[in-house]
Structure 1
Amino acid sequence: MKRRDFIQLTGLGLGGMFLPAQLMGKSVSEQVLLEPFLDVPAKKNLADVALSTAKSSGATYADIRIGRYLNQFISTRENKVQGIESSESYGCGVRVIANGTWGFAATNEVTTEGIKKAAQRAVAIAKANAKFQKEPVKLAPVQGYGEVSWKTTIQRNAFEIPVSEKVDLLLNANAAALQNGASFVNSNLFMINEQKYFASTEGSYIDQDIHRIWPTFTVSVTDKASGKFKSRQALSAPMGMGYEYMIPKTEDKQWAPQGMVLYRNSYDIVEDAATAAKQAKEMITAKSVEPGKYDLVLEPNHLGLTIHESVGHPLELDRILGYEANYAGTSFATLDKLKSGNFNYGSKIVNIFADKTQPGSLGAVGYDDEGVKSRRWDLIKDGIFVNVQAIRDQVHILGQNESHGCCYAQSWSDVQFQRMPNVSLAPGKDPYSVQDMIKDVEKGIYIAGRGSYSIDQQRYNFQFGGTVFYEIKNGQITGMLNDVAYQSNTQEFWNSCVKICDERDYRLFGSFFDGKGQPSQVSAVSHGSSTARFNGVNVINTGRTI
């Protein structure tokens, strides 16, 4: 093989590795995305085949997920369309307990015979695995809900919007960036619809229709004289909404310094792209930060990633127990800290909760992937570590008898397991705006948007960057900064939180493709917060070398 051919083929392979599994499936026409799925009676009949077959084959418990996963991805660069991909994945997964052990099998043959074979295979796998099982699976009880349904509340189905209209919107955003000084710009739009049917031997038949959308872009500016270039990412948030998110509303715009606009329940991609070009130009000549201790004012789009990495992941029970170790580490938040009842995770104003019911969030569903009704629960209460994230076969380890409802599989062909729910920082209780917060800072930095980050294998010591940075002196924004990153550890950082803006500033950040597990799966999760201040945090200069 020639070297050029090898590089080309391996490049394609790496590209496939980074293509999210949710976007994989059979390529289909735009029209197929609008075709109806099986009706509920047909799905129930197929589900009953799986459940009865599993029981007659020796299972003491069984569930089935019949899923149709629809995806559309549009990519543009400057004034050209780079790609449009629509895909459909359709099949079912059967999970059973036999001889006290889990078994799972999946098939894309969604027929009576295909489902019967999958159920028999799942039971056979469970019985084979039982030879090595040391303790039987212990499932927390769950109510059988009968026949129920749940849908994401949307105003406009993104798949019903003509591709030409969506392409025009992205190209208009690109044009706005170029008109305001961008050298390069690429924009993308992801849309996902999960049509899922769950049934179990405990009497639940749950039909769900879930929608998600994510517009994003990268704007780059080059300065030929100096050879410098800077980029600015979109300040959008992926949302559990329909295409109405792409229709900007004036009342959804949030205040931000220096003419920057932040967005809440709708998004103006054209306006954001134009602002991004102006800010990227400003970054070329912005001064480099002086390392030292600063008070940090962190807006929600930025803070969401810090919440995700330093609270969301370390409070997953499988990570705490060490079951999840090879993929992104374990956790410093061990069970002895939880059981002590007094482990100080953050300051007294830090209240962090898990919630699978938040409207507009990526993780919002009516029921999780093992038929548990979604709910909200506290993780950090008044700064104290009070709970974790656990599912039906885990909660007995905590001495609890009710699943938290955070079980999920990325597709019908993957087995469901514990995944992060929406994890959010509660807003402050007293009226307090971003302007008020900045006025109270003598020496600080305002950070908006996500950037590079690093965190250790126990989710404790970390470093976070951002998208844009502004220096604060004596209560005033004095100008843009470059090369900013802050370093801390989880406990020290959350204990430095001294003020949180009220609910008027509360917004959602999201991770559309959060990876976990081996084999790896992705899930979508949101993190809400208001702008918050952290005092005396160590800031480094990422542009300097030792």
Structure 2
Amino acid sequence: MKRRDFVQYAGMGAGAMMMPSLLLGNDIPAEALLEPGMDTVLKKKMADVALNTAKSMGATYADARIGRYLNQYVFTREDKVQNVVNTESFGIGIRVIANGTWGFSSTNDVTEDGIKKATQHAVSIAKANSKIQKEPVVLAPVQGHGEVSWKTPIKKDFKEVPISEKVDLLLNANAAAMENGANFVNSALFMVNEQKYFASTDGSYIDQDVHRIWPTFNVTAIDRQAGKFKSRQALSAPMGMGYEYMDGLESEKLSGPEGIKLYNRSYDIVEDATMAAKQAKQKLTAKSVEAGKYDLVLEPNHLGLTIHESVGHPLELDRVLGYEANYAGTSFATLDKWESKDFNYGSDIVNLIADKTQEGSLGAVGYDDEGVKTKKWDLVRNGTLVNYQAIRDQVHMIDQNESHGCCYAQSWEDVQFQRMPNVSLEPGKEKYSLQDMIKDVDKGIYILGRGSYSIDQQRYNFQFGGTLFYEIKDGEIVGMLDDVAYQSNTQEFWNSCVKICDKDDYRLFGSFFDGKGQPSQVSAVSHGSSTSRFNGVNVINTGRTI
């Protein structure tokens, strides 16, 4: 399946039938989601079987990850439930270094015999690989943490909320959209709980309980006489939270211009669906944009995707080094640019950070899948490239001796590798609101939400669309626009950033199914920002042909 098709299907009702089996696991009844699973005493015992077996066979390092992955997906369309999916996946992955080379194996036979066989397989793979390995693996040191635990700070566990309540919420959102002019609407609710246990020969035994949630929908309005249709996606963001995200308790605190509602750590799906139907109808008669240079006011739900593609991916060290190339290319941000210590990634107000600790984000965990305690670090400071994203066997390549803690595997049966942490744009330091920003724009466009996009194989030249577009003239929004996309390159774009709203406007965007690697794996990651202004960006009209 093509990447963009996967992303689209993953958000819609048909998605359950199109998703890889590893995301779905084995079908189980909903009540089985509440079963406690293997206790930590037994997990430690099973993990030690892997570690001791690996050492007895000559491995100099080993780690074991016991994972129980629980998923619940609900899909609806108009007044019908299309599917409810409850799945569980359980097993162990063992990674070793023998003769200076990595080996990996996994099994769902989580017994002493099953684990011994998988570990022996992993060591055999490492020893076989070592015959062609040119240089031994170099691991950054990690001090063992002993027995520790971490849990996503949730208020309401989705597994304890009746399915009927979730279905009713989605159907109420669909009904609200239909009552306000939508011709079609489908909605989905993705909920994930990862119960992960990590143990290593470094002396760590780490138990983590990770929760994520993503409500989404797509509303379509049709003008049958004109033969046109327009759609509007949800303005929600996937979050590292419990079901409390669906309570909508904080949605009234954030309001944009033109009565637009903005959502942060709480989401009102019925309210958003109501707005979506009205806005989809408005898009049918919206003015088509005149191509040219505009000052762009980009809200966080939109800017997050641009950050993801033009900052997050190009600053992955494996992509920079060319180790990751077949899946979405390499990177323009090569080592010589970082080594110069003065590569101008953006304007001097641009500060881009990586952070695996940010509460509410999709990437928030206490420890990564190598047992490294997670942290926050700079990627771009005052516009200058200062660092990358790297894991234990990479950081020595950039003369550092501490992993950044961004190693991740999508499941127990996949080997962990470098994945994007939360990558975010720091808010402005002075008090400055969205309304202040719009007042300062003479000729511009306010863009909300995600849309189609394209970026080249070095993550440099790109084009981004959006969900909603509003024309700004002389400091005021004067109406809706359509057929908008902007073109730039990464360095030019980030150097055109002239103003960033303060922390009161800061919000998260997220990607629930971000793909990378071969065989491909997905991960979940957030990108935070405040509304930001980029001056003199080239805007094209996507609705006109030459």
Task: Please classify the TM superposition score into its range, dividing by the shorter chain length.
Answer: over 0.9
Cα shift readout 1:393-439 (whole Å, capped 9, x = no counterpart): 00000000000000000000000000000000000000000000000
Change (3 A) 1:18 1:423: farther
Alpha-carbon deviation of 1:23?
2.7
In structure 1, distance between residues paired with 2:191 and 2:535: 39
Q: C-alpha displacement at 1:254, in angstroms?
A: 1.5
Counterpart of 1:168?
168
**Conservation of the 8 A alpha-carbon contact between 1:253 and 1:264:** no
The number of aligned residues is 533
C-alpha deviation, 1:370, in angstroms: 0.4
Equivalent residue for 1:493? Answer: 493
Q: Is the 8 A contact 1:329 1:457 kept in 2?
A: yes
Question: In structure 2, what is the equivalent of residue 537 of structure 1?
Answer: 537
1:230 alignment counterpart: 230
C-alpha displacement of 1:269: 0.1
CA deviations over 1:7-54 (Å, ceiling 9, x no partner): xxxxxxx97895155532100000110000211111000011110000
Give the whole-Å Cα distance in 2 for the aligned partners of 1:319 and 1:365. Answer: 23
Q: Please name the residue that 2:53 is paired with.
A: 53
Specify the code of the residue in structure 2 equivalent to 1:116.
K
Partner of 1:68: 68
1:389 is the counterpart of 2:380: no
Are 1:522 and 2:522 an aligned pair? yes
Q: What residue number does 2:347 align with?
A: 347
C-alpha contact (below 8 Å) 1:445/1:472 kept by paired residues: yes
Do the aligned partners of 1:79 and 1:175 also contact (CA within 8 Å) in 2?
A: yes
Q: Is the 8 A contact 2:252 2:261 kept in 1?
A: no
User: Could you tell me which residue of structure 2 aligns to residue 134 of structure 1?
Assistant: 134
Question: 1: CA distance between counterparts of 2:207 and 2:408?
Answer: 15
**Alpha-carbon deviations, 1:496-517, whole Å to 9, x = none?**
0000000000000000000000
1:8 aligned partner: none
**Superimposed CA distance per residue, residues 169-222 of structure 1 (whole angstroms, 9 cap, x where no aligned partner):** 000000000010000000000000000000000100000000000000000000
What does 1:300-339 correspond to in 2, within 5 Å?
A: 300-339=300-339
CA contact (8 A) 2:189 2:213 kept: yes
Paired with 1:522 and 1:134, the residues of 2 have a C-alpha distance of: 29
Distance 2:24 2:77 in 1: 22
Q: State the Cα distance separating 1:487 from its structure 2 match.
A: 0.1
SS at structure 2 position matched to 1:97: strand
The superposition leaves residues 369-394 of structure 1 with CA deviations (integer Å, 9 ceiling, x where unpaired) of 00000000000000000000000000
Q: State whether residues 22 and 71 of structure 1, in contact with CA within 8 Å, keep that contact through their aligned partners in structure 2.
A: no
Q: Indicate how the Cα distance of structure 1 residues 472 and 424 shifts in structure 2: closer, same or farther if over 3 A, else same.
A: same
Shift in CA distance, 336/21, structure 1 to aligned 2, threshold 3 Å: farther
Contact kept, 8 Å, 1:288 with 1:541, in 2: the verdict is: yes
**Aligned AA (2:522):** V
**Range with greater deviation from structure 2 (222-231 or 95-104):** 222-231
State how far apart, in whole Å, the 1-side matches of 2:268 and 2:232 are: 16
**Native 8 Å contact 2:96 2:123 kept in 1:** yes
Secondary structure of 2:536's aligned partner: strand
| Gapped regions of structure 2 (runs ≥ 5) | 1-13
- 2:96 matched residue in structure 1: 96
The residue type paired with residue 373 of structure 1 is K
Q: What is the distance in 2 between the residues matched to 1:350 and 1:254? A: 24
- CA deviation vs aligned residue, 1:66-113 (integer Å, no higher than 9, x gap): 000000110000000000010000000000000000000000000111
CA contact (8 A) 1:252 1:266 kept: no
**Within-5 A mapping of 1:145-544:** 145-250=145-250, 253-544=253-544
Partner of 1:121: 121
Q: 1:159: Cα distance to partner?
A: 1.1
CA separation of 1:348/1:362 partners in 2, compared to 1, >3 Å: closer, same or farther? same
Kept in 1, the 8 Å contact 2:486–2:538? The answer is yes
Shift of 1:226: 0.8
Q: Distance in 2 between matches of 1:375 and 1:361?
A: 13
Secondary structure (helix, strand or coil) at the match of 1:441 reads coil
SS at match of 2:332: coil
Report the Cα distance in structure 2 between the residues aligned to 1:69 and 1:112, rounded to whole angstroms: 21
The reply on whether 1:84 has 2:90 as its aligned counterpart is no
State the match for 1:3 in structure 2: none
Residues 253 and 261, structure 1, Cα contact 8 Å, conserved in 2: no
Q: Which 4+ residue blocks in structure 1 deviate beyond 6 angstroms?
A: 14-17
- The 1:86/1:369 distance shift into structure 2, 3 A limit, reads same
3-state SS of paired residue (1:318): helix
Q: How high is the sequence identity, in percent, across the aligned residues? A: 76
Question: Take 1:389 and 1:188, find their aligned partners in 2: how far apart are those partners?
Answer: 32
| Residue 43 (structure 1) aligned with residue 36 (structure 2) | no
Q: Equivalents in 2 of 1:161, 1:127: separation in Å?
A: 49
**Normalising to structure 2: TM-score of the pair?**
0.97
Paired residue type of 2:164 = S
Distance across 2 between alignment mates of 1:21 and 1:326: 23
Deviations 1:209-248 (A, max 9, x none): 0000000000000011111100000000000000000001
1:4 equivalent in structure 2? none
Give the counterpart letter for 2:38 in structure 1: L
Q: Deviations over 1:350-371 (max 9, x none)?
A: 0000000000000000000000
Deviation at residue 252 of structure 1 after TM alignment: 5.9
Task: Supply the AA of the counterpart residue of 1:266.
Answer: S
- Partner Cα distance (1:517, 1:433) in 2: 40
Q: In 2, Cα distance between the equivalents of 1:456 and 1:360?
A: 31
Conservation of the 8 A alpha-carbon contact between 1:51 and 1:63: yes
SS of equivalent to 1:132: coil
Q: Matches of 2:123 and 2:264 in 1, distance apart?
A: 47
SS in 2 for 1:64: strand
* SS in structure 1 at match of 2:92: strand
Query: Could you say what secondary structure the match of 1:229 adopts?
Result: strand
Q: Which whole-Å deviations, capped at 9, do the CAs of 1:459-491 have from their partners, x for residues lacking one?
A: 000000000000000000000000000000000
Amino acid at match of 2:330: T
Moved more, 361-370 or 221-230: 221-230
Q: Aligned with 2:374: secondary structure? A: coil
The whole-number CA distance in structure 2 between the counterparts of 1:321 and 1:192 is: 33
Give the aligned residue type for 1:147.
Answer: E
Q: Is the 8 A contact 2:251 2:263 kept in 1?
A: no
In the alignment, is the contact (CA less than 8 A) between 2:419 and 2:523 conserved in 1?
yes
Determine the C-alpha separation between the residues in 1 that align with 2:261 and 2:515. Answer: 30
SS at match of 1:263: coil
Query: Matches of 2:352 and 2:492 in 1, distance apart?
Result: 16
Q: Which amino acid aligns with 2:130?
A: A
- What is the CA–CA distance in structure 1 between the aligned matches of 2:249 and 2:273, rounded to whole Å? 17
Letter in 2 for 1:319: R
Contact residue 20 and residue 513 of structure 1 kept, 8 A: no
1:310–1:459 Cα contact (<8 Å) kept: yes
Deviation at 1:255, TM superposition (A): 2.0
Aligned AA (2:335): L
CA distance in 2, matches of 1:462, 1:107: 41
Q: Could you tell me which residue of structure 1 aligns to residue 27 of structure 2?
A: 27
Q: Which residue of structure 1 lines up, in the alignment, with residue 8 of structure 2? A: none
Change (3 A) 1:388 1:77: same
Whether the 8 Å CA contact 2:16–2:85 is kept in 1: the answer is no
